[in-house]
Amino acid sequence: RLWAPVPPSARPAAAGAACGLVGVLVPQVLFNGYATLNTILADAHPPDAPTLLLYAAVKILTTASSRAAGLVGGLFAPALFLGATAGGAYGQLVAGLAGDPVAAPAYASVGAASVL
């Protein structure tokens, strides 16, 4: 429904432009997101929980709008990205609230695996 007002032949270009604009604002969600995933899983100064949740939300929106507009792309990498960011955010929240000694990357790994 998002792309309903746009003529079908212009939908891929409009979705690409929208994703490009989002990419300027949040470049971590562009492409497959493996660089961001590596940062989270390696525990190399990952972003805080609210930022990870922002990444997840933006990735959902860009992937869904791209698919709805007819752009070709996979769902495997975005699913891993979503699971890892949500799991990493959850791990940080648990560690902060309960003092859980399990590292946040473990939660990110479980989150990524859970969406497969």
- Report pTM: 0.87
Long-range contacts formed by 35-43: CB under 8 A, 24+ apart: 36/81, 36/85, 37/80, 37/81, 37/84, 37/108, 37/112, 40/84, 40/85, 40/88, 40/104, 40/105, 40/108, 41/84, 41/105, 41/108, 41/109, 42/105, 43/103, 43/104, 43/105
pLDDT one-digit tens code per residue, 10-41: 989 999 999 999 999 999 988 888 888 888 88
Q: Does residue 113 have a pLDDT over 80?
A: yes
| pLDDT-derived band at 101, boundaries 50, 70, 90 | low
pLDDT computed for residue 86 by the predictor:
94
pLDDT computed for residue 8 by the predictor:
87
